[in-house]
């Protein structure tokens, strides 16, 4: 029996192709597509390669109902157009579950793996490999060489383990519509304080006009950008933020919200465990542990966390409640949006952290995510929410309310903000 060795990937050719505005053909628009495209867009933004959509030649899919339609301004074609392909465009297979059957299909068209088509993970690998070369001027701006070399190593190891990860873990899925109803019913039966929240669309549009988050804010994914702006809007509305309030954006990263507020006369500040790369020179962006700050007792009027609380590792979700009890002023309040819930206590890790158990909650079912850089993202069930969040709120002398967003899909179908936690003194 003889084995035919697959052709090696020419990374040098890839980086030349990037500079020459190379083209790719995307195969697959299924459930993995949005996450994969978001990851590719993230890499292109991170390494200043421009808009990835500019490099898409066209898209193919086996689903006949999708063929002839457009996605991201690109026509969806039948895979049959790939037979006898003369194009220099590399085919990137944008799926996890169906890579093997698609690989067989493409080989039947006379196309060779690593020459004519590659998996999306191989495509990631090529981009990262080129961009992290020591002599490449596009390496991570402002980051020491040891940082991106370590990051590169971690990601490569994850790519190598991808097949094993898919055997050991299931891909995380957001709660379905029926499951969201079940979660809501469980909250009500458990005598949790819960109210419906209606997004005021007129006020939301006015908010977006008043606070311009900028073109570079989640530029790689328009759907996520809309979600993030909405999260800031509901925080702004529920907090009833006034210019006299001392407000803190917790786990802000590079969010411009505190900066935008400050420019409009609000007393705002942003804190994060890591320094902001965008606002490094601003004195209102500080490096701080939100569970152990140096703010004086009862000195903070308003706090918000946008898509951050689920990332508080270990007991830090509970410890944040204790710190809020210390720093919140007499009429202090905090908004956590979203409050991630599921039918069961669970969480997900990205491939580069999935086997590092020290980051995962004991007793939570573990899933994998296709994003990178996520040690663990927690989703509460009713029992975990009570033990880790609600009881600590009550025992700390604070009060709370959970909002269920009832019209989030009126923004667009991709919005996932469903539950909001409001904590107040």
Of the candidates 49, 50, 20, 56, the residue with the CA atom closest to the CA atom of residue 136? 49
pLDDT, tens digit, 9 for 90 and up, residues 302-342: 999 999 999 999 999 999 999 999 999 999 999 999 999 99
- Report the pLDDT value the prediction gives residue 278, as an integer from 0 to 100: 85
The residue among 286, 277, 336, 293 whose CA lies nearest residue 311 is 336
What pLDDT does residue 164 have? 84
pTM of the prediction? 0.68
CATH code of 93's domain: 3.40.50.720
Same domain, 142 and 187: no
Together in a domain, 218 and 111: no
Categorize the per-residue pLDDT at 86 as very low, low, confident or very high, splitting at 50, 70 and 90: low
Please report, rounded to a whole number, the percentage of residues in the chain having pLDDT higher than 90. 54
241 and 357 fall within a common domain: yes
Q: 214 with 355, same domain?
A: yes
Please report whether residue 118 resides in a domain.
Answer: yes
Residues 232 and 310 in one domain: yes
Q: Is the pLDDT of residue 280 over 60?
A: yes
Strand partners of residue 377: 348
**Contact present, 170 and 96 (Cβ < 8 Å):** no
Would you state the pLDDT for residue 160? 62
Q: What is the mean pLDDT of the chain?
A: 85
Mean pLDDT calculated for residue range 65-93: 83
Please say which residue of 160, 189, 221 terminates a domain: 160
User: Among 106, 131, 160, which residue terminates a domain?
Assistant: 160
Neighbours of 55 (CB within 10 A): 20
> How many C-beta atoms lie closer than 10 Å to residue 62's C-beta?
17
Which has more pLDDT, 418 or 87?
A: 418
Q: What is the pLDDT of residue 2?
A: 29
Interatomic CA distance for residues 201 and 411, integer angstroms: 8
Whether residue 3 is contained in a domain is answered as no
Question: Looking at the domain assignment, is residue 263 inside a domain?
Answer: yes
Give the closest residue to 125 by CA, choosing from 35, 20, 220, 14.
14
Percentage of the residues of the chain whose pLDDT score is greater than 70: 84
7 vs 99, 112, 114, 118, CA distance in Å?
18, 9, 6, 11
Domain count, the chain: 2
- In this structure, what CATH number is given to the domain that contains residue 350? 3.40.50.150
Cα distances from 46 to residues 55, 158, 352, 405, in angstroms, run 16, 19, 18, 33
- Rounded Cα distance between 330 and 349, Å, is 38
pLDDT band at 151 (very low <50, low <70, confident <90, very high): low
Question: Is a pLDDT exceeding 80 seen at residue 283?
Answer: yes
Tell me what pLDDT residue 53 has.
79
234, part of any domain: yes
> Does residue 166 fall inside a structural domain?
no
Spatial separation of the C-alpha atoms in residues 344 and 328, rounded to whole Å: 31
Write down the pLDDT at residue 4. Answer: 32
Where in the sequence is the domain holding 143, given as residue range(s)? 11-160
Mean predicted confidence (pLDDT) in 127-141: 50
**142: pLDDT strictly greater than 50:** no
pLDDT of residue 134: 40
Mean pLDDT comparison of 39-53, 135-149, 203-217, 396-410, highest-scoring range? 396-410
Does the pLDDT at position 208 exceed 70?
yes
* Tokens (6 digits) for 306: 């946008």
Confidence at 49, pLDDT banded by 50, 70, 90: low
Distance CA 198, CA 177 (A): 18
d(Cα 204, Cα 131) in Å, to the nearest integer?
Answer: 39
Residue 2 lies in a domain: no
- 280 shares its domain with 359: yes
Q: Assess if residue 170 is contained within a domain.
A: no
CB-based contact 330:350 (threshold 8 Å): no
Write out pLDDT tens, residues 363-414. 999 999 877 778 999 999 999 999 999 999 999 999 999 999 999 999 988 8
For residues 76-86, average pLDDT? 83
- Is 8 a residue whose pLDDT tops 70? no
Q: Does residue 82 sit in the same domain as residue 113?
A: yes
Residue 326 lies in a domain: yes
Q: Considering only 98-112, 150-164, 239-253, 380-394, which range has the smallest mean pLDDT? A: 150-164
- Per the structure block, which two tokens stand in for 87? 């194009």
């Amino acid at each position: 029996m003889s084995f035919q060795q697959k052709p090696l990937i020419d990374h040098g050719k890839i980086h030349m192709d990037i500079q020459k505005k190379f083209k790719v053909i995307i195969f697959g628009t299924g459930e993995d597509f949005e996450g994969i495209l978001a990851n590719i867009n993230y890499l292109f933004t991170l390494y200043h390669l421009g808009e990835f959509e500019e490099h898409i030649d066209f898209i193919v899919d086996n689903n006949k109902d999708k063929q002839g339609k457009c996605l991201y301004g690109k026509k969806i074609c039948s895979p049959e157009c790939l037979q006898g392909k003369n194009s220099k465009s590399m085919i990137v297979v944008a799926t996890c579950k169906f890579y093997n059957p698609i690989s067989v299909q493409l080989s039947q068209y006379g196309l060779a793996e690593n020459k004519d088509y590659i998996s999306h993970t191989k495509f990631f690998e090529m981009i990262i490999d080129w961009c992290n070369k020591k002599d490449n001027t596009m390496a991570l701006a402002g980051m020491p060489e040891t940082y991106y070399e370590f990051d590169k190593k971690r990601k490569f190891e994850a790519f190598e383990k991808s097949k094993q990860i898919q055997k050991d873990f299931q891909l995380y899925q957001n709660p379905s519509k029926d499951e969201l109803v079940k979660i809501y019913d469980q909250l009500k039966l458990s005598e949790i304080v819960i109210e419906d929240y209606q997004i005021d669309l007129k006020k939301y549009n006015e908010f977006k006009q008043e606070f311009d988050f900028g073109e570079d804010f989640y530029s790689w994914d328009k759907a996520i950008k809309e979600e993030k702006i909405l999260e800031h809007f509901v925080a702004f509305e529920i907090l009833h933020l006034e210019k006299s309030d001392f407000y803190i954006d917790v786990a802000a990263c590079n969010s411009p919200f505190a900066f935008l507020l400050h420019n409009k006369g609000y007393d705002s500040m942003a804190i994060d465990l890591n320094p902001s790369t965008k606002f490094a020179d601003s004195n209102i962006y500080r490096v701080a542990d939100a569970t152990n700050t140096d703010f004086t007792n009862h000195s903070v009027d308003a706090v918000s966390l946008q898509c951050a609380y689920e990332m508080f590792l270990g007991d830090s979700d509970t410890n944040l409640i204790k710190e809020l009890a210390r720093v919140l002023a007499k009429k202090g309040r905090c908004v956590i949006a979203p409050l991630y819930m599921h039918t069961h206590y669970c969480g997900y890790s990205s491939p580069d952290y999935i086997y590092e158990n020290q980051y995962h909650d004991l007793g939570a079912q573990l899933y994998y995510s296709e994003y990178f850089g996520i040690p663990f993202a927690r989703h509460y069930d009713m029992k975990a929410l009570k033990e880790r969040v609600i009881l600590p709120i009550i025992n700390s002398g604070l009060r709370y309310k959970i909002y269920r967003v009832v019209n989030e899909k009126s923004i667009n179908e991709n919005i996932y903000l469903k539950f909001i936690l409001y904590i107040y003194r």
